[in-house]
Amino acid sequence: MTTPSATLRELTGMSGDPASLTGSALIMIDLQNTYTQGVMALENVDPAIEQAARLLDRARSAGSTIVHVQHEAGAGTPYDTNAEIGAIVDAVAPKPGEHRVVKNLPSSFVGTDLEEYLRGAGVTNLVLAGFMTHMCVNSTARSAFNLGFAPTVVAGATATRALPGPDGTVPASSLQQASLAALSDMFAVVVHDESSVPD
């Protein structure tokens, strides 16, 4: 097997530096009770929430633009934002004045006011945390990149779950690693944990 020599970001001369919290927007993606219990419980969800909470506290202190995203799929689903299951986890709940986006598709930009809100705030650099790494974090980071934003994904503040694959179950740890590697090849700067994001 060939050992990769460089990412596409490196080969095309794109920056590998993470966004600083100051002057950036922190996008908290689907940090909902959905992912802490029941059928959608994620592997390593509690450490990810702890990292996201520290990141949120630091962003508030830095005066960052903060956006909380919730996925809505209707009554009776694990994504019912009008029920406790679909509520944002208490540890990272929005404070008054922090923008909230409700989405119905994996990308936080599709069918929402997120792009308009970020443009209005004059923000280009984004710091992303949340769930699930392979789905909504992935889709949001790719949309952000394609719209001209510069996303940084905080790996330790994300999590995912095992999935069925064509050759058997793909473990959550493998899917997590592959999802982050795919993003870091082009679409985002990926850092190990919240302490890797400068103030």
- What's the pLDDT tens digit per position in 29-50? 999 999 999 999 999 999 999 9
Phi, psi of 164, rounded to the nearest 5 degrees: -70, 140
In a domain, 142, yes or no: yes
Q: What is the pLDDT of residues 148-189, one digit of tens each?
A: 999 999 999 999 999 999 999 999 999 999 999 999 999 999
In a domain, 57, yes or no: yes
Kindly name the residue from 136, 185, 193, 199 that is annotated as catalytic: 136
Kindly name the residue from 103, 185, 193, 199 that is annotated as catalytic: 103
In a domain, 3, yes or no: no
In a domain, 1, yes or no: no
In a domain, 9, yes or no: no
Q: What is the CATH number of the domain that holds 154?
A: 3.40.50.850
113 is catalytic: no
User: What average pLDDT does the chain have?
Assistant: 96
> pTM for this structure?
0.96
| Tokens 């809505």 found at | 72
Q: What is the pLDDT of residues 57-68, one digit of tens each?
A: 999 999 999 999
In a domain, 15, yes or no: no
Q: What is the reported pLDDT for 5?
A: 76
Alpha-carbon torsion angle 115, 66, 81, 146, nearest 10: 30
Handedness of CA 158, 199, 195, 150 (dihedral sign): positive
In a domain, 79, yes or no: yes
Strand, helix or coil for residue 144: helix
What is the residue range of 38's domain?
24-196
- Number of folded domains in the chain? 1
* In the predicted structure, residue 105 carries a pLDDT above the cut 80: yes
In a domain, 190, yes or no: yes
* In the predicted structure, residue 3 carries a pLDDT above the cut 80: no
